[in-house]
């Protein structure tokens, strides 16, 4: 018993150590460095007298507090970030002169911010939403910001519509409801009148919108960019980030539970993984299209609502991104970081994508308001590693102290400095694309195919993914109160897939339109010919794309997965530790969960520390569950309603479940007892993900194989497990 107490005391001391070291030996000062002898009492005229205006310590403290919050981002307000490094794996000088992509020996520092789009800073991580995936490269030639999402396409084709999209998806202005949700009238009213959003809506209603972790989602640059090499030759490029852990999601019901129990789930997951040394990694992939092939596809490369199927242009892996350090201060770094799609370096240039072109203005304009003025680039997290020399001076929050009297160019007083680099000295040069056109407010006819890639995405999904997507649409449109909006959306869905439209119509208690009708592009000028703006409805030559389904993601690892071990006093400690060690050897993390905190005793009098109690955690925080044997432990868990609920919920969310043979009675107390396999062969494990065994070594092997599968979605079909 004394040893237990000492262990707990040591654990407590260790947990405080960092905070003690961070603040050791320091005196409290004002912002000017003056030591403060009392910041708990304001300066007053007598003990009970009025506070005095001369109390500069009070005024400084209160003023700073009053101004601690800056305007939150209009979109992507809720975020989480980390520092890391990028290293190219090959020399891409045949494609680009960007140094960080041509020198495999160079390690480029990066800062990456993940975010949700629609919600405010105080919303949940697990909202059904697009996720931002923004990477700031601090290259030797200046900062390059690859500002992307976890989906490769977008809702709209032209930046002119961006304010309308955001106004529609944000909480409705008359009552500021709902928060961080798209399930409401204004959003679907916009969508039903904007057929170009068809493809993106399929992604948003899919499981991609509720990722298991930031570490387990893809990233995309969305737009088509250009790469330009030293000879001035240009290629079109699409940027991809592919996670080494695979692409995984959570169930919608699970996401809602997590939002209630831990709205910081994704933030915490990223932070803890880096603190544990489980550094998240992604491979940078490029889809390269030579300049001469710009028009060879059935879609327009400049259309941000379209992707390039990987079957047509394979993704070329060219580098690795590793996140290895958490921010030191959330506000100073994560909140103040300013990404800008226009921050490019020599060798990377823009295409004429009309959404990209509008964003080039929007980002600067946003930072000017949010970060107080034109000097936001001087905030430490935004400063480039490359030296900055220009003729910009003054402005709010200026930090650089420039010497001398010249701030103009050309000049002779400073011998012409700072000089223009020119093309020979590595300066940025825009690609000299030839343009011969009239100024016009119209959209290319090549942008009017709104449904073929939406069909492609839906057809590419596995059956469980199609079911999830259908359920998401039923949920979202079930929240829409305006019948006319629902009717338009059924017409909208009918042009993607008839069975999808029929399933949603049934849940809404409505009838789908009898005849297919094409939708008009709602952005046509008032005096335009409607036929010119009629949406093109056609079938693409590619009917399925393997890369679009998460069912085809890499499933060769359980690294960083979290496994719950349910146990109580009297547990078979040998089996528990054997399975735990086998799981840990594969890089996963185990928590022992018991009815109470502290320690539980094993059958052989081994004391096992408890990580969480059934009161303080839930199955939704874990990827799989193991129940070791032991007569007393099994009897306790069987009689514990929270333990049985834990298992029922894990089964409902299609997670791998393992149990020792003598723990079978715990599983038999669940709602899914009838699903227990009669023979624990590999086929049963593959189909159901439930493993029961006597030998802990074999059980551990099969359990690990099951966890690699991530989920056993086929369990959802009967939907017979209340939890």
Say how far apart CA 634 and CA 649 lie, in whole Å.
19
Query: Is residue 73 assigned to a domain?
Result: no
Say how far apart CA 721 and CA 723 lie, in whole Å.
6
Tens-place pLDDT, residues 201-255:
999 999 999 999 999 999 999 999 999 999 999 999 999 999 999 999 999 999 9
| pLDDT score at 489 | 95
Query: Is residue 11 assigned to a domain?
Result: no
Same-domain pairing of 237 and 378: yes
Range of 38's domain? 28-65
Same-domain pairing of 561 and 513: no
Using alpha carbons, select from 224, 422, 234 the residue that is nearest to residue 341. Answer: 224
Q: What CATH number did the domain enclosing 140 receive?
A: 2.40.180.10
Tens-place pLDDT, residues 327-360:
999 999 999 999 999 999 999 999 999 999 888 8
Query: Is residue 95 assigned to a domain?
Result: yes
Q: What CATH number did the domain enclosing 466 receive?
A: 1.20.1370.20
Say how far apart CA 82 and CA 272 lie, in whole Å.
11
| pLDDT score at 428 | 82
Query: Is residue 360 assigned to a domain?
Result: yes
| pLDDT score at 245 | 97
Using alpha carbons, select from 625, 635, 593 the residue that is nearest to residue 707. Answer: 625
Q: Is the pLDDT of residue 2 over 80?
A: no
| pLDDT score at 673 | 84
Banded pLDDT at 525 (limits 50, 70, 90): low
Q: What CATH number did the domain enclosing 49 receive?
A: 4.10.91.20
Decide which of 414 and 9 is more confident. Answer: 414
Q: Is the pLDDT of residue 721 over 70?
A: no
Annotated catalytic residues are: 76, 149
Same-domain pairing of 474 and 528: yes
Same-domain pairing of 541 and 655: no
Q: Is the pLDDT of residue 153 over 90?
A: yes
Looking only at the bridges linking them, the beta strands covering 607-610 and 598-601 are antiparallel
Q: Is the pLDDT of residue 419 over 80?
A: no
* Mean model confidence pLDDT for the chain: 90
Tens-place pLDDT, residues 621-641:
999 999 999 999 999 999 999
| pLDDT score at 531 | 62
Give the sign of the dihedral formed by CA 692, CA 695, CA 696, CA 701.
negative
Structural contact between residues 155 and 241, judged by C-beta atoms closer than 8 angstroms: no
Tens-place pLDDT, residues 49-99:
788 888 888 888 887 777 878 889 999 999 999 999 999 999 999 999 999
Residue 331: count other Cβ atoms within 10 Å of its Cβ.
11
Query: Is residue 364 assigned to a domain?
Result: yes
In the listed set 508, 523, 551, which residue is the last one of a domain according to the structure?
551
Q: Is the pLDDT of residue 137 over 50?
A: yes
CB contact set of 502 (below 8 Å; sequence gap of 6+): 512
Structural contact between residues 568 and 600, judged by C-beta atoms closer than 8 angstroms: yes
Query: Is residue 698 assigned to a domain?
Result: yes
Reading the block at residue 68, the tokens are 């601690």
pLDDT (average), residues 166-181: 94
Same-domain pairing of 35 and 133: no
Banded pLDDT at 9 (limits 50, 70, 90): low
Same-domain pairing of 537 and 635: no
Residue 113: count other Cβ atoms within 10 Å of its Cβ.
23
Same-domain pairing of 599 and 456: no
Banded pLDDT at 538 (limits 50, 70, 90): low
pLDDT (average), residues 368-391: 89
CB contact set of 723 (below 8 Å; sequence gap of 6+): 645, 648, 649, 651, 652, 671
Which run of H or of E encompasses 607?
Answer: strand 607-610
Q: Is the pLDDT of residue 185 over 50?
A: yes
Q: Is the pLDDT of residue 187 over 60?
A: yes
Residue 414 sits at φ, ψ, to 5 deg, of -110, 30
Q: Is the pLDDT of residue 40 over 60?
A: yes
Lowest mean pLDDT among 114-123, 160-169, 210-219, 644-653: 160-169
Same-domain pairing of 366 and 329: yes
Which run of H or of E encompasses 613?
Answer: strand 612-613
Domain count, the chain: 4
Secondary structure letter of residue 601 according to DSSP: E
Same-domain pairing of 541 and 566: no
Query: Is residue 560 assigned to a domain?
Result: yes
Per the document, the length of the chain is 723
DSSP string, 623-634: SEEEE---HHHH
Beta bridge partners of 231: none
Distance from chain centroid for Cα 57: 42
| pLDDT score at 684 | 46
pTM of structure: 0.91
Same-domain pairing of 261 and 115: yes
| pLDDT score at 1 | 46
Residue 392: count other Cβ atoms within 10 Å of its Cβ.
14
Q: What CATH number did the domain enclosing 673 receive?
A: 3.40.50.880
Same-domain pairing of 613 and 669: yes
Angle at 598 between CA 596 and CA 603, to 5 degrees: 85
List of E strands, 260-394: 281-290, 316-325, 348-350
DSSP string, 564-599: EEE--TTB-HHHHHHHHHHHHHTT-EEEEEESSSEE
In the listed set 491, 523, 551, which residue is the last one of a domain according to the structure?
551
Using alpha carbons, select from 489, 474, 404 the residue that is nearest to residue 187. Answer: 489
In the listed set 551, 571, 592, which residue is the last one of a domain according to the structure?
551
Query: Is residue 444 assigned to a domain?
Result: no
Same-domain pairing of 462 and 515: yes
Reading the block at residue 247, the tokens are 């692409």
Lowest mean pLDDT among 382-391, 458-467, 589-598: 382-391
Q: What percentage of the chain exceeds 90 in pLDDT?
A: 69
Lowest mean pLDDT among 128-132, 679-683, 698-702: 679-683
């Amino acid at each position: 018993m004394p040893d237990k107490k000492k262990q707990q005391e040591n654990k407590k001391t260790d947990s405080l150590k960092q905070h003690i070291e961070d603040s050791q030996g320091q005196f409290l000062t004002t912002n000017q460095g003056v030591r403060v002898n009392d910041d708990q009492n304001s300066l007053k005229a007598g003990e009970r007298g009025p506070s005095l205006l001369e109390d500069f310590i009070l005024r400084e403290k209160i003023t700073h507090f009053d101004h601690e919050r800056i305007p939150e981002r209009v979109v992507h307000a809720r975020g989480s970030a980390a520092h890391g490094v990028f290293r190219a794996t090959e020399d891409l000088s045949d494609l680009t002169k960007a140094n960080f992509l041509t020198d495999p020996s160079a390690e480029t520092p990066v800062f990456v911010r993940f975010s949700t789009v629609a919600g405010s800073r105080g919303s949940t991580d697990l909202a059904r939403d697009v996720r931002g995936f923004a990477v700031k490269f601090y290259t030797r030639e200046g900062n390059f910001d690859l500002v992307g999402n976890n989906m490769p396409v977008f809702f709209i084709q032209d930046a002119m519509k961006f304010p309308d999209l955001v106004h529609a998806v944000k909480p409705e202005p008359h009552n500021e409801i709902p928060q961080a949700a798209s399930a409401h009238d204004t959003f679907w009213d916009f969508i039903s009148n904007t057929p170009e959003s068809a493809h993106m809506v399929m992604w948003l209603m899919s499981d991609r919108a509720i990722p298991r972790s930031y570490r387990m989602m893809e990233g995309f640059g969305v737009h088509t960019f250009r790469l330009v090499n030293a000879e001035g030759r240009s290629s079109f490029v699409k940027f991809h980030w592919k996670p080494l852990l695979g692409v995984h999601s959570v169930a919608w019901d699970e996401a809602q539970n997590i939002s209630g129990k831990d709205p910081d789930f994704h933030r915490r997951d990223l932070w803890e993984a880096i603190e544990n040394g489980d550094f998240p990694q992604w491979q940078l992939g490029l889809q390269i299209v030579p300049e001469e092939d710009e028009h060879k596809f059935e879609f327009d490369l400049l259309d941000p609502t379209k992707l390039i199927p990987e079957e047509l242009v394979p993704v070329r892996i060219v580098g690795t991104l590793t996140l290895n350090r958490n921010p030191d201060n959330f506000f100073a770094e994560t909140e103040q970081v300013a990404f800008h799609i226009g921050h490019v370096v020599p060798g990377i240039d823009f295409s004429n994508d009309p959404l990209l072109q509008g964003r080039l203005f929007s980002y600067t304009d946003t930072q000017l308001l949010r970060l107080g003025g034109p000097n936001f680039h001087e905030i430490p997290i935004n400063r480039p590693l490359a030296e900055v020399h220009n003729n910009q001076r003054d402005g709010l929050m200026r930090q650089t102290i420039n010497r001398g009297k010249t701030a103009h160019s050309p000049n002779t007083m400073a011998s012409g400095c700072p000089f223009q680099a020119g093309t020979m000295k590595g300066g940025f040069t825009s690609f000299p694309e030839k343009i011969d056109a009239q100024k016009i407010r119209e959209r290319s006819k090549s942008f009017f195919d709104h449904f073929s890639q939406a069909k492609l995405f839906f057809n590419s999904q596995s059956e469980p993914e199609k079911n999830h997507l259908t359920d998401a649409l039923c949920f979202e449109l079930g929240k829409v109160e305006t019948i006319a909006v629902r009717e338009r959306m059924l017409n909208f869905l009918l042009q993607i897939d008839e069975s999808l439209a029929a399933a949603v119509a049934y849940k809404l208690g409505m009838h789908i339109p009898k005849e297919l009708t094409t939708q008009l592009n709602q952005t046509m000028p008032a005096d335009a010919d409607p036929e010119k703006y009629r949406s093109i409805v056609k079938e693409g030559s590619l009917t399925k794309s393997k890369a679009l389904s998460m069912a085809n993601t890499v499933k060769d690892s359980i690294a960083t997965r979290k496994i719950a071990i349910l146990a109580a006093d009297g547990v078979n400690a040998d089996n528990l530790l054997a399975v735990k060690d086998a799981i840990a050897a594969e890089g996963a993390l185990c928590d022992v969960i018991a009815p109470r905190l502290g320690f539980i005793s094993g059958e052989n009098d081994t004391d096992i520390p408890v990580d969480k109690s059934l009161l303080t955690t839930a199955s939704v925080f874990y990827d799989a569950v193991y129940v070791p044997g032991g007569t007393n432990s099994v009897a306790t868990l069987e009689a514990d309603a929270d333990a049985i609920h834990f298992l029922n919920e894990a089964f409902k969310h299609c997670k791998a479940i393992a149990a020792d043979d003598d723990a079978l009675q715990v599983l038999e107390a669940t709602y899914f007892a009838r699903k227990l396999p009669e023979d624990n062969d590999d086929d049963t494990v593959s189909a159901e993900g439930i493993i029961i065994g006597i030998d802990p070594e074999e059980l551990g092997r099969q359990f690990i194989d099951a966890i690699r599968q991530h989920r056993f979605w086929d369990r959802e079909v009967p939907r017979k497990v209340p939890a």
